[in-house]
Structure 1
Amino acid sequence: MLIIENGTIVAGAESFATAAELVAYAANFGRVIPADIPSQEALLRRAALQMDALNWKGRAVNRDQALAWPRFNVCRNGWVLPSNTIPAQIKAGQMALATEIHADDLSPPEQRLGAISREKVGPLETEYSTASPIISKPAAVRQSYAQFSGLLQSSSQVSLSRS
């Protein structure tokens, strides 16, 4: 069972979202995730770990907190966010990242092919172009990154982009 961080510095927290919330998110956005709860929870843990490596605005509320959030001194769109809550964008971003990680598990970006650039019918010969950088990007720079917009230090934007 996942231990959920709700903004109160939950000891041993592993996630901002529950497996049930991930299932609803995946259904709402047409994303594929594993059917079993242990695998869903594992994806959420993996996403939380990846999120810990990001360069967030502000600073952690407590030196002993398990995850990167909650945070002090985070300003988004001109508003200072409360330091005792988890922003909706963080929770949604974790779920987006979890679905992206699962997609990468099923089809790693480095193995994806671009459009067919040349095809010969007999004897069969097909050539693919290089995959678009957007398609081949790792999970951290896709839909989840849009959720994190305004919550990351600007220097992390450079570290997230990978051609």
Structure 2
Amino acid sequence: MTLIIEDGTGKPDAESYATAEDLAMYAEKFGATIPVDEISQETLLRRAALVMDGMTWKGRKMDSDQALAWPRRGVELDCQIKPDNYLPARIQYGQMALAAEIHTDDIDPIDKRKGAVTLERVEGAVTREYATISNTSGRLLPAAPDRPSATQFADYLQKRGLFAVRA
């Protein structure tokens, strides 16, 4: 089934900001690993769009009936308020990066990864111990250590980077 692509008009049935062809070109350019077949690529893009909908973006949806989080009203960037139908290229690139990160998690689940070396002893036989990676802390991102999607989305999210909450 072909993806319905958001074009900046606030489509009520949009499923993605990028096509499977866009994702394949992105993966080739940046060396990302993605599935070969188009249906799996479209599935990844849909999953990435769902994750994006859960993020807290600047501004507000252009229309309450639109399916995806973008386009948005009242987005201020570099001291300029962007037009209501503004659909940043970094949103599309971020979705593709996020889709590749999701695929990385699918083929290399976080619970199978090893953390940093916490103990290494050399006396005849080598003993190596790894830290446990916990996905419940809320501090560790559940995908690959390099998160290009986070970089793409940074300027468009309500809160950028680390922040402290005073108790």
Is 1:23–2:27 an aligned residue pair? no
TM-score (norm 1): 0.83
Kept in 2, the 8 Å contact 1:77–1:150? The answer is no
Distance 1:52 1:139 in 2: 18
Q: How does 1:83-162 map to 2 (within 5 A)?
A: 83-116=84-117, 117-118=119-120, 126-130=128-132, 137-139=141-143, 142-154=147-159
Kept in 2, the 8 Å contact 1:119–1:127? The answer is no
Please list every run of 5 or more consecutive structure 2 residues that lacks an aligned counterpart in the other structure. Answer: none
Deviations 1:7-61 (A, max 9, x none): 0122310000000000111111110000000000000000000000000010101
Kept in 1, the 8 Å contact 2:120–2:126? The answer is no
Shift of 1:127: 2.8
**Root-mean-square deviation (Å):** 2.8
Which structure: greater helix fraction? 1
For this pair of structures, how many residues does the alignment match? 156
Distance 1:158 1:50 in 2: 20
* CA gap 1:121/1:6 in 2 versus in 1, 3 angstroms: farther
Distance 1:85 1:8 in 2: 9
Please list every run of 5 or more consecutive structure 1 residues that lacks an aligned counterpart in the other structure. Answer: none
Shift of 1:118: 2.8
Percent identity at matched positions?
50
Kept in 1, the 8 Å contact 2:154–2:161? The answer is no
SS at match of 2:129: strand
Distance 2:34 2:28 in 1: 9
Structure 2 counterpart of 1:78: 79
4+ runs of 1 displaced by more than 6 Å? Answer: 119-124
TM-score (norm 2): 0.81
